[in-house]
Chains A and B, each alone.
Chain A
Amino acid sequence: MNARSPITPKTLQSVAAELAGQPVSAEKAAAHAEIFENIMQMIESLRGLPIKDVEPAVIFRPVERSADDPA
Protein backbone atom coordinates (compact mmCIF):
# COMPACT_ATOMS: atom_id res chain seq x y z
CA MET A 1 0.00 0.00 0.00
CA ASN A 2 1.41 3.44 -0.88
CA ALA A 3 1.79 5.98 1.88
CA ARG A 4 -0.94 8.58 1.65
CA SER A 5 -0.32 12.31 1.39
CA PRO A 6 -1.24 14.60 4.28
CA ILE A 7 -4.76 15.95 4.11
CA THR A 8 -5.17 19.48 2.81
CA PRO A 9 -8.06 21.88 3.42
CA LYS A 10 -8.46 22.19 -0.37
CA THR A 11 -9.05 18.45 -0.65
CA LEU A 12 -11.68 18.46 2.05
CA GLN A 13 -13.40 21.49 0.55
CA SER A 14 -13.60 19.65 -2.78
CA VAL A 15 -14.90 16.46 -1.17
CA ALA A 16 -17.49 18.34 0.84
CA ALA A 17 -18.74 20.36 -2.12
CA GLU A 18 -18.28 17.99 -5.07
CA LEU A 19 -18.91 14.59 -3.49
CA ALA A 20 -20.93 15.12 -0.33
CA GLY A 21 -23.05 18.01 -1.61
CA GLN A 22 -22.40 19.87 1.63
CA PRO A 23 -19.94 22.67 0.92
CA VAL A 24 -17.87 24.14 3.74
CA SER A 25 -15.96 27.40 3.94
CA ALA A 26 -12.19 27.55 3.56
CA GLU A 27 -11.90 28.37 7.25
CA LYS A 28 -13.99 25.38 8.23
CA ALA A 29 -12.07 23.12 5.84
CA ALA A 30 -8.82 24.16 7.51
CA ALA A 31 -10.21 23.22 10.92
CA HIS A 32 -11.54 19.95 9.53
CA ALA A 33 -8.19 19.12 7.95
CA GLU A 34 -6.38 19.33 11.26
CA ILE A 35 -8.96 17.13 12.96
CA PHE A 36 -9.31 14.62 10.16
CA GLU A 37 -5.57 14.20 9.76
CA ASN A 38 -5.52 12.90 13.34
CA ILE A 39 -8.46 10.64 12.60
CA MET A 40 -6.80 9.33 9.44
CA GLN A 41 -3.77 8.32 11.44
CA MET A 42 -6.11 6.19 13.57
CA ILE A 43 -7.86 4.84 10.46
CA GLU A 44 -4.54 3.82 8.91
CA SER A 45 -4.05 1.33 11.73
CA LEU A 46 -7.21 -0.45 10.59
CA ARG A 47 -5.87 -0.71 7.03
CA GLY A 48 -2.91 -2.71 8.31
CA LEU A 49 -4.91 -5.32 10.22
CA PRO A 50 -4.82 -9.02 9.30
CA ILE A 51 -8.36 -9.04 7.94
CA LYS A 52 -7.96 -10.49 4.44
CA ASP A 53 -10.30 -13.38 5.17
CA VAL A 54 -12.44 -11.56 7.71
CA GLU A 55 -15.96 -10.56 6.65
CA PRO A 56 -17.61 -7.35 7.84
CA ALA A 57 -19.83 -7.69 10.92
CA VAL A 58 -22.66 -6.32 8.77
CA ILE A 59 -23.83 -8.97 6.31
CA PHE A 60 -26.77 -8.64 3.93
CA ARG A 61 -30.03 -10.27 4.93
CA PRO A 62 -32.85 -10.67 2.36
CA VAL A 63 -36.07 -8.93 3.30
CA GLU A 64 -38.69 -11.47 4.23
CA ARG A 65 -42.27 -10.56 4.85
CA SER A 66 -44.60 -12.64 6.98
CA ALA A 67 -48.29 -13.15 6.20
CA ASP A 68 -49.07 -10.57 8.91
CA ASP A 69 -47.06 -7.76 7.30
CA PRO A 70 -49.11 -5.08 5.50
CA ALA A 71 -48.82 -5.26 1.69
Chain B
Amino acid sequence: MSDITELSIAELAQAYRDKSLSPVDATRAYLERISKHNDKVNAFVLLREEDALAEARQAETEFAAGGWRGPLHGIPIGHKDLYQTAGIRSTAGSRVLENHVPEHDATAVARLKQAGAVMLGKLNTHEFAYGPTNDSSMFGPCRNPWETARFSGGSSGGSGAAVALRLCAGATGSDTGGSIRMPAACCGITGLKPTYGRASRAGIYPLCWTMDHAGPLTRSAEDAALMFQPMAGPDGRDAAVAERDVPDYAAALGGDIKGLRIGVPTHYFFDRALPEIATAAHDAIAVLEGLGAEVREVEIAHIDHAAAAAMVLYLSEGTAYHDDHIATIGELYTDQVRLFLEIGNYVLAKDYLHAQRYRTLLGHAMADVLAEVDVLAMPALPITAQPLGQENIDIRGATESVFGAILRNTEPFDLTGLPALVVPCGNASDGMPMSLQIAGRPFDEAGVLKVGHAFQQASDWHQRRPPD
Protein backbone atom coordinates (compact mmCIF):
# COMPACT_ATOMS: atom_id res chain seq x y z
CA MET B 1 0.00 0.00 0.00
CA SER B 2 2.80 2.43 0.86
CA ASP B 3 4.18 2.31 -2.70
CA ILE B 4 1.06 4.08 -3.95
CA THR B 5 1.98 7.16 -1.96
CA GLU B 6 5.35 7.30 -3.70
CA LEU B 7 3.62 8.01 -7.02
CA SER B 8 3.50 11.58 -8.26
CA ILE B 9 0.23 13.16 -9.35
CA ALA B 10 1.16 12.50 -12.98
CA GLU B 11 2.00 8.87 -12.27
CA LEU B 12 -1.13 8.31 -10.20
CA ALA B 13 -3.31 9.82 -12.93
CA GLN B 14 -1.72 7.45 -15.46
CA ALA B 15 -2.26 4.49 -13.12
CA TYR B 16 -5.94 5.39 -12.87
CA ARG B 17 -6.17 5.55 -16.68
CA ASP B 18 -4.40 2.20 -16.94
CA LYS B 19 -6.81 0.86 -14.32
CA SER B 20 -3.84 -0.49 -12.38
CA LEU B 21 -4.88 1.60 -9.38
CA SER B 22 -8.08 3.20 -8.20
CA PRO B 23 -8.78 6.42 -6.30
CA VAL B 24 -10.06 4.35 -3.38
CA ASP B 25 -6.74 2.44 -3.26
CA ALA B 26 -4.82 5.71 -3.25
CA THR B 27 -7.05 7.42 -0.68
CA ARG B 28 -6.83 4.43 1.69
CA ALA B 29 -3.06 4.36 1.29
CA TYR B 30 -2.75 8.06 2.17
CA LEU B 31 -5.12 7.75 5.11
CA GLU B 32 -3.06 4.85 6.41
CA ARG B 33 0.15 6.87 6.12
CA ILE B 34 -1.48 9.82 7.84
CA SER B 35 -2.57 7.61 10.74
CA LYS B 36 1.01 6.36 11.15
CA HIS B 37 3.09 9.47 10.52
CA ASN B 38 1.08 12.68 10.91
CA ASP B 39 1.60 13.01 14.67
CA LYS B 40 5.34 13.47 14.36
CA VAL B 41 5.00 16.47 12.02
CA ASN B 42 1.53 17.80 12.96
CA ALA B 43 0.72 18.58 9.32
CA PHE B 44 -2.97 17.58 9.05
CA VAL B 45 -5.13 19.33 11.62
CA LEU B 46 -8.47 17.99 10.35
CA LEU B 47 -9.12 14.72 8.58
CA ARG B 48 -12.23 13.76 6.64
CA GLU B 49 -11.72 10.04 6.21
CA GLU B 50 -15.23 8.97 5.33
CA ASP B 51 -15.90 11.93 3.07
CA ALA B 52 -12.57 11.50 1.28
CA LEU B 53 -13.34 7.82 0.65
CA ALA B 54 -16.81 8.78 -0.61
CA GLU B 55 -15.21 11.24 -3.03
CA ALA B 56 -12.78 8.54 -4.13
CA ARG B 57 -15.67 6.11 -4.76
CA GLN B 58 -17.46 8.83 -6.72
CA ALA B 59 -14.37 9.24 -8.87
CA GLU B 60 -14.29 5.48 -9.46
CA THR B 61 -17.96 5.51 -10.47
CA GLU B 62 -17.28 8.31 -12.92
CA PHE B 63 -14.28 6.49 -14.41
CA ALA B 64 -16.40 3.36 -14.85
CA ALA B 65 -18.99 5.42 -16.72
CA GLY B 66 -16.30 6.75 -19.04
CA GLY B 67 -16.07 10.12 -17.37
CA TRP B 68 -12.61 11.56 -16.72
CA ARG B 69 -12.31 15.12 -15.52
CA GLY B 70 -8.58 15.42 -16.06
CA PRO B 71 -5.28 14.57 -14.35
CA LEU B 72 -6.46 15.63 -10.89
CA HIS B 73 -9.51 13.35 -10.95
CA GLY B 74 -9.33 11.09 -7.89
CA ILE B 75 -6.02 12.57 -6.64
CA PRO B 76 -5.84 12.91 -2.82
CA ILE B 77 -4.81 16.42 -1.74
CA GLY B 78 -4.87 18.63 1.33
CA HIS B 79 -5.87 22.28 1.73
CA LYS B 80 -4.05 24.83 3.85
CA ASP B 81 -6.37 25.75 6.72
CA LEU B 82 -6.22 29.34 5.50
CA TYR B 83 -8.48 28.25 2.63
CA GLN B 84 -12.19 28.32 3.40
CA THR B 85 -13.88 24.99 2.78
CA ALA B 86 -17.68 24.92 2.80
CA GLY B 87 -19.12 22.99 5.71
CA ILE B 88 -15.64 22.15 7.01
CA ARG B 89 -14.00 23.98 9.89
CA SER B 90 -11.49 26.56 8.63
CA THR B 91 -9.46 28.21 11.38
CA ALA B 92 -6.51 29.99 9.77
CA GLY B 93 -4.56 28.32 12.59
CA SER B 94 -6.18 30.66 15.10
CA ARG B 95 -8.39 30.44 18.15
CA VAL B 96 -10.10 33.54 16.71
CA LEU B 97 -11.73 31.16 14.20
CA GLU B 98 -11.56 28.04 16.34
CA ASN B 99 -15.03 26.82 15.48
CA HIS B 100 -15.63 28.68 12.26
CA VAL B 101 -17.35 26.72 9.51
CA PRO B 102 -17.61 28.66 6.25
CA GLU B 103 -20.61 28.49 3.96
CA HIS B 104 -18.65 28.78 0.76
CA ASP B 105 -15.52 27.24 -0.71
CA ALA B 106 -12.55 29.35 -1.68
CA THR B 107 -12.37 29.53 -5.47
CA ALA B 108 -9.29 27.29 -5.51
CA VAL B 109 -11.07 24.70 -3.38
CA ALA B 110 -14.14 24.73 -5.63
CA ARG B 111 -12.06 24.43 -8.78
CA LEU B 112 -9.93 21.58 -7.48
CA LYS B 113 -13.13 19.86 -6.36
CA GLN B 114 -14.59 20.38 -9.84
CA ALA B 115 -11.39 18.88 -11.26
CA GLY B 116 -12.16 15.77 -9.22
CA ALA B 117 -9.51 16.02 -6.51
CA VAL B 118 -10.20 14.13 -3.27
CA MET B 119 -9.87 16.32 -0.17
CA LEU B 120 -8.14 14.40 2.62
CA GLY B 121 -8.37 17.25 5.11
CA LYS B 122 -6.99 20.61 6.29
CA LEU B 123 -3.37 21.43 6.85
CA ASN B 124 -1.57 23.34 9.57
CA THR B 125 -0.72 26.98 8.96
CA HIS B 126 1.11 29.71 10.83
CA GLU B 127 -1.67 31.73 12.45
CA PHE B 128 -3.35 33.86 9.78
CA ALA B 129 -0.30 33.20 7.58
CA TYR B 130 1.60 35.80 9.63
CA GLY B 131 4.95 34.06 9.97
CA PRO B 132 7.60 32.06 8.06
CA THR B 133 8.01 29.13 10.47
CA ASN B 134 4.52 27.67 11.22
CA ASP B 135 5.48 27.49 14.90
CA SER B 136 2.66 29.85 15.99
CA SER B 137 -0.61 28.03 15.44
CA MET B 138 -3.52 27.05 17.65
CA PHE B 139 -2.66 23.47 16.68
CA GLY B 140 0.95 23.76 17.81
CA PRO B 141 4.01 23.92 15.59
CA CYS B 142 4.29 22.05 12.36
CA ARG B 143 7.56 20.08 12.33
CA ASN B 144 10.01 19.42 9.60
CA PRO B 145 9.82 15.82 8.39
CA TRP B 146 13.60 15.75 7.78
CA GLU B 147 14.24 16.58 11.44
CA THR B 148 11.27 17.08 13.67
CA ALA B 149 13.11 19.38 16.10
CA ARG B 150 13.23 21.95 13.28
CA PHE B 151 10.49 24.07 11.80
CA SER B 152 8.72 23.11 8.63
CA GLY B 153 8.86 26.62 7.26
CA GLY B 154 5.67 28.61 6.81
CA SER B 155 3.23 29.83 6.67
CA SER B 156 2.04 26.83 4.57
CA GLY B 157 4.00 24.50 6.83
CA GLY B 158 1.41 21.74 7.02
CA SER B 159 1.28 21.68 3.22
CA GLY B 160 5.06 21.44 2.91
CA ALA B 161 5.46 18.75 5.56
CA ALA B 162 2.53 16.67 4.27
CA VAL B 163 3.72 16.59 0.67
CA ALA B 164 7.31 15.83 1.69
CA LEU B 165 6.27 12.97 4.00
CA ARG B 166 3.89 11.54 1.38
CA LEU B 167 0.77 12.24 3.43
CA CYS B 168 -0.93 13.67 0.32
CA ALA B 169 -0.11 13.93 -3.37
CA GLY B 170 -0.28 17.72 -3.42
CA ALA B 171 -1.42 20.61 -1.27
CA THR B 172 -2.59 24.18 -1.58
CA GLY B 173 -0.72 27.07 -0.03
CA SER B 174 -0.60 30.84 0.04
CA ASP B 175 2.40 33.15 -0.35
CA THR B 176 2.71 36.73 0.86
CA GLY B 177 6.44 36.96 1.68
CA GLY B 178 7.36 33.41 0.71
CA SER B 179 4.82 31.19 2.43
CA ILE B 180 4.57 28.62 -0.35
CA ARG B 181 8.25 28.70 -1.25
CA MET B 182 9.70 28.73 2.27
CA PRO B 183 7.99 25.52 3.45
CA ALA B 184 8.61 23.92 0.05
CA ALA B 185 12.31 24.72 0.35
CA CYS B 186 12.51 23.76 4.04
CA CYS B 187 10.85 20.41 3.36
CA GLY B 188 12.60 19.62 0.06
CA ILE B 189 9.65 19.79 -2.32
CA THR B 190 8.44 22.00 -5.18
CA GLY B 191 6.36 25.13 -4.65
CA LEU B 192 4.91 27.65 -7.09
CA LYS B 193 3.99 31.23 -6.30
CA PRO B 194 2.31 32.44 -9.48
CA THR B 195 2.07 35.97 -10.79
CA TYR B 196 -0.06 38.26 -8.61
CA GLY B 197 -3.43 38.22 -10.32
CA ARG B 198 -3.03 34.83 -11.99
CA ALA B 199 -5.02 32.85 -9.43
CA SER B 200 -7.94 33.94 -7.29
CA ARG B 201 -7.46 34.77 -3.61
CA ALA B 202 -11.21 34.61 -3.00
CA GLY B 203 -12.09 32.61 0.07
CA ILE B 204 -8.53 32.58 1.45
CA TYR B 205 -8.17 34.58 4.67
CA PRO B 206 -6.01 37.59 3.76
CA LEU B 207 -2.73 38.63 5.29
CA CYS B 208 -1.87 41.39 2.80
CA TRP B 209 -4.42 42.08 0.09
CA THR B 210 -1.79 43.48 -2.23
CA MET B 211 0.74 40.66 -1.78
CA ASP B 212 -1.23 37.46 -1.19
CA HIS B 213 -0.89 34.72 -3.82
CA ALA B 214 -2.49 31.24 -4.04
CA GLY B 215 -0.56 28.28 -5.41
CA PRO B 216 0.38 24.60 -5.08
CA LEU B 217 3.00 22.61 -3.20
CA THR B 218 3.86 19.35 -4.93
CA ARG B 219 6.69 16.88 -5.49
CA SER B 220 7.68 18.18 -8.90
CA ALA B 221 7.30 20.98 -11.40
CA GLU B 222 5.19 18.64 -13.53
CA ASP B 223 2.81 18.06 -10.64
CA ALA B 224 2.75 21.80 -9.90
CA ALA B 225 1.71 22.45 -13.51
CA LEU B 226 -1.10 19.90 -13.21
CA MET B 227 -2.34 21.16 -9.85
CA PHE B 228 -2.11 24.85 -10.69
CA GLN B 229 -4.03 24.52 -13.97
CA PRO B 230 -7.56 24.71 -12.51
CA MET B 231 -6.49 27.32 -9.93
CA ALA B 232 -5.55 29.86 -12.60
CA GLY B 233 -7.84 32.35 -14.30
CA PRO B 234 -10.61 34.83 -13.43
CA ASP B 235 -13.48 33.85 -11.17
CA GLY B 236 -15.60 36.99 -10.90
CA ARG B 237 -14.84 37.20 -7.15
CA ASP B 238 -11.25 38.44 -6.95
CA ALA B 239 -10.99 41.79 -8.70
CA ALA B 240 -7.21 41.48 -8.88
CA VAL B 241 -7.28 38.47 -11.18
CA ALA B 242 -6.29 39.35 -14.71
CA GLU B 243 -8.58 38.70 -17.63
CA ARG B 244 -5.96 36.74 -19.52
CA ASP B 245 -6.10 33.36 -21.17
CA VAL B 246 -4.63 30.53 -19.15
CA PRO B 247 -2.14 28.42 -21.11
CA ASP B 248 -1.85 24.63 -20.81
CA TYR B 249 0.94 24.49 -18.24
CA ALA B 250 1.66 20.77 -18.60
CA ALA B 251 1.90 21.01 -22.38
CA ALA B 252 4.36 23.89 -22.01
CA LEU B 253 6.82 21.71 -20.07
CA GLY B 254 8.01 19.97 -23.22
CA GLY B 255 11.00 20.89 -25.33
CA ASP B 256 14.49 21.85 -24.29
CA ILE B 257 15.95 24.98 -22.72
CA LYS B 258 18.73 25.54 -25.26
CA GLY B 259 19.39 29.23 -25.56
CA LEU B 260 17.37 30.11 -22.46
CA ARG B 261 19.02 33.11 -20.78
CA ILE B 262 19.36 32.78 -17.02
CA GLY B 263 20.22 35.84 -14.96
CA VAL B 264 22.10 35.22 -11.72
CA PRO B 265 21.85 38.13 -9.26
CA THR B 266 24.84 37.53 -7.02
CA HIS B 267 24.34 40.61 -4.90
CA TYR B 268 21.74 40.19 -2.15
CA PHE B 269 20.61 36.67 -3.10
CA PHE B 270 23.91 34.77 -2.99
CA ASP B 271 26.34 36.89 -1.01
CA ARG B 272 24.10 36.87 2.06
CA ALA B 273 23.32 33.14 1.90
CA LEU B 274 25.17 30.40 3.79
CA PRO B 275 28.14 29.44 1.59
CA GLU B 276 27.06 25.85 0.99
CA ILE B 277 23.61 27.06 -0.09
CA ALA B 278 25.14 29.50 -2.57
CA THR B 279 27.35 26.69 -3.88
CA ALA B 280 24.38 24.32 -4.25
CA ALA B 281 22.45 26.96 -6.20
CA HIS B 282 25.42 27.58 -8.49
CA ASP B 283 25.73 23.81 -9.03
CA ALA B 284 22.05 23.63 -9.94
CA ILE B 285 22.43 26.50 -12.37
CA ALA B 286 25.40 24.66 -13.89
CA VAL B 287 23.05 21.73 -14.57
CA LEU B 288 20.79 24.10 -16.49
CA GLU B 289 23.82 25.46 -18.33
CA GLY B 290 24.71 21.89 -19.24
CA LEU B 291 21.26 21.60 -20.83
CA GLY B 292 22.07 24.51 -23.13
CA ALA B 293 21.00 27.54 -21.11
CA GLU B 294 23.16 30.67 -21.16
CA VAL B 295 24.04 32.05 -17.77
CA ARG B 296 25.01 35.63 -17.03
CA GLU B 297 25.43 37.68 -13.90
CA VAL B 298 22.90 40.46 -13.39
CA GLU B 299 22.36 43.26 -10.92
CA ILE B 300 18.92 44.28 -9.67
CA ALA B 301 18.78 47.95 -8.72
CA HIS B 302 17.31 48.98 -5.34
CA ILE B 303 17.00 45.34 -4.17
CA ASP B 304 18.49 46.13 -0.76
CA HIS B 305 15.30 47.86 0.39
CA ALA B 306 13.02 44.89 -0.24
CA ALA B 307 12.87 43.75 3.38
CA ALA B 308 11.97 47.23 4.64
CA ALA B 309 9.16 47.63 2.13
CA ALA B 310 7.78 44.17 2.78
CA MET B 311 7.81 44.77 6.55
CA VAL B 312 5.81 47.99 6.17
CA LEU B 313 3.24 46.23 3.99
CA TYR B 314 2.81 43.24 6.31
CA LEU B 315 2.43 45.50 9.34
CA SER B 316 -0.02 47.93 7.72
CA GLU B 317 -2.28 45.56 5.82
CA GLY B 318 -2.25 42.86 8.47
CA THR B 319 -3.21 45.27 11.22
CA ALA B 320 -5.90 46.86 9.08
CA TYR B 321 -7.51 43.47 8.42
CA HIS B 322 -7.49 42.48 12.12
CA ASP B 323 -8.29 45.95 13.45
CA ASP B 324 -11.69 44.96 14.78
CA HIS B 325 -10.26 42.07 16.78
CA ILE B 326 -6.96 43.27 18.18
CA ALA B 327 -8.40 45.28 21.05
CA THR B 328 -11.47 43.14 21.73
CA ILE B 329 -10.21 39.55 21.47
CA GLY B 330 -6.48 40.08 21.21
CA GLU B 331 -5.85 37.39 23.81
CA LEU B 332 -7.05 34.75 21.34
CA TYR B 333 -4.10 35.39 19.04
CA THR B 334 -0.71 33.75 19.58
CA ASP B 335 1.83 36.06 21.23
CA GLN B 336 3.96 36.51 18.11
CA VAL B 337 1.09 37.35 15.79
CA ARG B 338 -0.53 39.63 18.36
CA LEU B 339 2.77 41.49 18.71
CA PHE B 340 3.00 42.07 14.94
CA LEU B 341 -0.63 43.23 14.81
CA GLU B 342 -0.09 45.72 17.63
CA ILE B 343 3.14 47.05 16.10
CA GLY B 344 1.28 47.72 12.84
CA ASN B 345 -0.63 50.50 14.59
CA TYR B 346 2.48 52.66 14.58
CA VAL B 347 3.20 52.71 10.84
CA LEU B 348 2.49 56.05 9.21
CA ALA B 349 0.38 56.28 6.06
CA LYS B 350 3.17 58.02 4.19
CA ASP B 351 5.55 55.14 4.91
CA TYR B 352 2.97 52.64 3.67
CA LEU B 353 2.79 54.62 0.43
CA HIS B 354 6.58 54.89 0.22
CA ALA B 355 6.63 51.09 0.39
CA GLN B 356 4.03 50.84 -2.38
CA ARG B 357 6.07 53.28 -4.49
CA TYR B 358 9.17 51.18 -3.85
CA ARG B 359 7.27 48.25 -5.35
CA THR B 360 6.88 50.17 -8.58
CA LEU B 361 10.56 51.12 -8.50
CA LEU B 362 11.65 47.51 -7.90
CA GLY B 363 9.18 46.29 -10.51
CA HIS B 364 10.88 48.48 -13.12
CA ALA B 365 14.30 47.31 -11.98
CA MET B 366 13.24 43.67 -12.36
CA ALA B 367 11.63 44.36 -15.74
CA ASP B 368 14.84 46.00 -16.95
CA VAL B 369 16.80 42.87 -16.02
CA LEU B 370 14.14 40.52 -17.45
CA ALA B 371 14.35 42.38 -20.74
CA GLU B 372 17.88 40.99 -21.06
CA VAL B 373 17.34 37.49 -19.61
CA ASP B 374 14.40 35.08 -19.57
CA VAL B 375 14.48 33.98 -15.95
CA LEU B 376 16.37 34.70 -12.76
CA ALA B 377 17.88 31.93 -10.64
CA MET B 378 19.13 32.07 -7.08
CA PRO B 379 18.95 30.17 -3.78
CA ALA B 380 15.35 29.87 -2.62
CA LEU B 381 16.38 30.59 0.97
CA PRO B 382 19.68 31.86 2.39
CA ILE B 383 19.43 29.39 5.29
CA THR B 384 18.10 25.92 5.95
CA ALA B 385 15.24 25.09 8.31
CA GLN B 386 16.43 25.92 11.84
CA PRO B 387 15.58 24.42 15.25
CA LEU B 388 12.17 25.43 16.57
CA GLY B 389 12.46 28.48 18.76
CA GLN B 390 15.85 29.59 17.46
CA GLU B 391 15.74 33.36 17.03
CA ASN B 392 19.06 34.26 15.45
CA ILE B 393 21.52 32.79 12.99
CA ASP B 394 25.06 33.60 11.96
CA ILE B 395 25.54 34.04 8.20
CA ARG B 396 29.08 34.76 6.96
CA GLY B 397 30.01 36.39 10.28
CA ALA B 398 26.87 38.52 10.64
CA THR B 399 24.15 37.69 13.15
CA GLU B 400 20.60 38.24 12.02
CA SER B 401 17.12 37.15 12.94
CA VAL B 402 15.91 33.85 11.51
CA PHE B 403 12.65 35.56 10.49
CA GLY B 404 14.49 38.24 8.55
CA ALA B 405 16.92 35.86 6.92
CA ILE B 406 14.42 33.24 5.80
CA LEU B 407 12.23 35.82 4.05
CA ARG B 408 15.02 37.65 2.25
CA ASN B 409 15.18 35.78 -1.07
CA THR B 410 11.47 35.20 -1.52
CA GLU B 411 10.00 38.61 -0.57
CA PRO B 412 11.15 40.49 -3.70
CA PHE B 413 8.87 38.33 -5.85
CA ASP B 414 5.86 39.05 -3.67
CA LEU B 415 6.67 42.75 -3.83
CA THR B 416 6.88 42.65 -7.63
CA GLY B 417 4.23 39.95 -8.15
CA LEU B 418 6.49 37.95 -10.46
CA PRO B 419 6.05 34.16 -10.75
CA ALA B 420 8.59 32.15 -8.79
CA LEU B 421 9.13 28.39 -8.43
CA VAL B 422 11.33 26.61 -5.92
CA VAL B 423 12.79 23.16 -6.55
CA PRO B 424 15.06 21.10 -4.27
CA CYS B 425 18.73 21.02 -5.27
CA GLY B 426 20.62 19.36 -2.43
CA ASN B 427 20.96 18.59 1.27
CA ALA B 428 23.16 20.78 3.45
CA SER B 429 25.74 19.64 6.00
CA ASP B 430 22.99 19.79 8.66
CA GLY B 431 20.98 17.30 6.58
CA MET B 432 18.31 19.81 5.68
CA PRO B 433 17.12 20.48 2.11
CA MET B 434 18.43 23.31 -0.04
CA SER B 435 16.51 24.72 -2.98
CA LEU B 436 16.82 26.75 -6.14
CA GLN B 437 14.38 29.55 -6.93
CA ILE B 438 13.49 30.37 -10.55
CA ALA B 439 11.64 33.63 -11.18
CA GLY B 440 10.24 34.94 -14.45
CA ARG B 441 8.33 37.64 -16.22
CA PRO B 442 4.71 38.44 -15.31
CA PHE B 443 2.34 35.62 -16.26
CA ASP B 444 5.18 33.36 -17.40
CA GLU B 445 4.36 30.53 -15.02
CA ALA B 446 4.82 28.22 -18.00
CA GLY B 447 8.39 29.47 -18.39
CA VAL B 448 9.47 28.99 -14.78
CA LEU B 449 7.75 25.58 -14.64
CA LYS B 450 9.55 24.52 -17.80
CA VAL B 451 12.94 25.44 -16.32
CA GLY B 452 12.11 23.63 -13.07
CA HIS B 453 10.98 20.59 -15.02
CA ALA B 454 14.14 20.59 -17.12
CA PHE B 455 16.24 20.67 -13.96
CA GLN B 456 14.24 17.81 -12.47
CA GLN B 457 14.61 15.73 -15.63
CA ALA B 458 18.40 16.10 -15.26
CA SER B 459 18.61 15.56 -11.47
CA ASP B 460 16.91 13.54 -8.76
CA TRP B 461 16.76 15.83 -5.72
CA HIS B 462 12.99 16.05 -6.07
CA GLN B 463 12.72 12.26 -5.73
CA ARG B 464 14.47 12.19 -2.37
CA ARG B 465 12.31 12.23 0.67
CA PRO B 466 12.71 12.27 4.43
CA PRO B 467 12.86 8.83 6.09
CA ASP B 468 9.74 7.62 7.85
Which residues of A are at the interface with B, using a C-beta cutoff of 8 A?
12, 15-16, 19-24, 28, 32, 35-36, 39, 42-43, 45-47, 49-51, 54-58, 61
* Bound complex: CA A42 to CA B355 (Å): 11
| Minimum Cβ distance to chain B for residue A39 (Å) | 6
**B210→A58 contact, CB < 8 A:** yes
Contact of B332 with A by CB under 8 A: no
**A56→B346 contact, CB < 8 A:** no
**B351→A46 contact, CB < 8 A:** yes
- Set of chain B residues within 8 Å of A22, measured between Cβ atoms: 326-327, 330, 342, 345
Closest A residue to B350 by beta carbon equals A47
**B345→A56 contact, CB < 8 A:** no
- Set of chain A residues within 8 Å of B366, measured between Cβ atoms: none
Given the contacts A20-B345, A28-B342, A57-B210, A46 and B356 also touching, CB distance less than 8 Å: no
Interchain Cβ contacts under 8 Å between A and B, 24 examples: A15-B345, A16-B346, A21-B327, A22-B326, A22-B342, A32-B342, A35-B339, A39-B315, A43-B347, A43-B351, A45-B304, A45-B308, A46-B351, A46-B358, A49-B305, A49-B354, A54-B357, A54-B361, A55-B360, A56-B356, A57-B210, A57-B356, A57-B359, A58-B210
Contact of B353 with A by CB under 8 A: yes
Given the contacts A22-B326, A43-B312, A55 and B357 also touching, CB distance less than 8 Å: yes
Contact of B298 with A by CB under 8 A: no
Which residues of B are at the interface with A, using a C-beta cutoff of 8 A?
210, 239, 302, 304-305, 307-309, 311-312, 315, 326-327, 330, 339, 342-343, 345-347, 351, 353-361, 363
- Set of chain A residues within 8 Å of B356, measured between Cβ atoms: 56-58
Interface of B, secondary structure class, is helix
**A49→B360 contact, CB < 8 A:** no
* Bound complex: CA A49 to CA B353 (Å): 12
| Minimum Cβ distance to chain B for residue A28 (Å) | 7
* Bound complex: CA A57 to CA B343 (Å): 23
- Set of chain A residues within 8 Å of B363, measured between Cβ atoms: 57
* Bound complex: CA A26 to CA B355 (Å): 30
Given the contacts A47-B354, A55-B360, A42 and B343 also touching, CB distance less than 8 Å: no
**B305, B354, B363: most-surrounded residue (chain A CB, <10 A):** B354
**B346→A12 contact, CB < 8 A:** yes
**B308→A42 contact, CB < 8 A:** yes
Q: Which of A32, A46, A55 contacts B305 (CB under 8 A)?
A: A46
**A46→B354 contact, CB < 8 A:** yes
**A22, A36, A43, A58: most-surrounded residue (chain B CB, <10 A):** A43
- Set of chain A residues within 8 Å of B359, measured between Cβ atoms: 56-57
- Set of chain A residues within 8 Å of B311, measured between Cβ atoms: 39, 42-43
Q: Which of B210, B343, B355 contacts A46 (CB under 8 A)?
A: B355
* Bound complex: CA A36 to CA B308 (Å): 12
**A51→B358 contact, CB < 8 A:** yes
Given the contacts A47-B351, A58-B356, A24 and B342 also touching, CB distance less than 8 Å: yes
* Bound complex: CA A24 to CA B330 (Å): 11
Closest A residue to B330 by beta carbon equals A22
- Set of chain B residues within 8 Å of A12, measured between Cβ atoms: 346
Closest A residue to B211 by beta carbon equals A57
- Set of chain A residues within 8 Å of B343, measured between Cβ atoms: 32, 35-36, 39
| Minimum Cβ distance to chain A for residue B95 (Å) | 19
- Set of chain B residues within 8 Å of A50, measured between Cβ atoms: 361
- Set of chain B residues within 8 Å of A23, measured between Cβ atoms: 327
| Minimum Cβ distance to chain B for residue A70 (Å) | 12
Given the contacts A15-B346, A22-B342, A42 and B307 also touching, CB distance less than 8 Å: yes
| Minimum Cβ distance to chain B for residue A42 (Å) | 4
* Bound complex: CA A66 to CA B284 (Å): 49
* Bound complex: CA A24 to CA B326 (Å): 11
Given the contacts A15-B346, A22-B345, A51 and B308 also touching, CB distance less than 8 Å: no
* Bound complex: CA A43 to CA B307 (Å): 10
**B353→A56 contact, CB < 8 A:** yes
Closest B residue to A56 by beta carbon equals B356
**A54→B312 contact, CB < 8 A:** no
- Set of chain A residues within 8 Å of B360, measured between Cβ atoms: 51, 54-57
